[in-house]
Amino acid sequence: MEPGDETRNADRIAITRLLHRYCAMLDTMELELVGELFTDDCLVVYGPVERMQASGAAQLAGSLRRLWRFERTSHHLSNVELDFDGPDAARGRSYVLAWHQQPDGASRTLYAEYDDRFVRTPAGWRIAERRQLTHGSDIPWDLPLAAAERRPAPEE
Report if residue 9 touches a copy of itself, rule: CB under 8 A.
yes
What is the closest distance, in whole angstroms, from the C-beta atom of residue 114 to a copy of itself in the complex? Answer: 13
Considering only the stretches 36-44, 51-59, 66-74, 117-125, report the one whose residues sit in contact with a copy of itself under the rule CB under 8 A. Answer: 66-74
* Window 78 to 107, contacts with a copy of itself (CB under 8 A): 78-81, 93, 95, 97, 99, 101, 105, 107
What is the closest distance, in whole angstroms, from the C-beta atom of residue 38 to a copy of itself in the complex? Answer: 18
What is d(CA 82, CA 85) in angstroms, rounded to the nearest whole number?
10
Instruction: Give the number of other Cβ atoms within 10 Å of residue 127's Cβ.
Output: 24
Provide the sign of the torsion angle of the four alpha carbons 117, 146, 134, 71, taken in this order: positive
Report if residue 63 touches a copy of itself, rule: CB under 8 A.
no
Site string for a copy of itself, 126-155 (x = CB under 8 A): ---------xx-x-x-------xxxx-x--
In the list 1, 17, 55, 87, the residue contacting a copy of itself (rule: CB under 8 A) is 17
H helical segments located in the chain: 9-28, 34-37, 57-63
| Neighbouring residues of 153: CB distance < 8 A, sequence distance ≥ 6 | none
Provide the sign of the torsion angle of the four alpha carbons 4, 17, 119, 149, taken in this order: positive
Instruction: Give the number of other Cβ atoms within 10 Å of residue 110's Cβ.
Output: 20
Report if residue 117 touches a copy of itself, rule: CB under 8 A.
no
Q: What amino acid is encoded at 110 in this protein?
A: L
Residues written for the chain:
156
Q: Which residues bind a copy of itself (CB under 8 A)?
A: 2-7, 9-10, 12-13, 17, 20, 23-24, 27-30, 68, 71-81, 93, 95, 97, 99, 101, 105, 107, 109, 111-112, 135-136, 138, 140, 148-151, 153
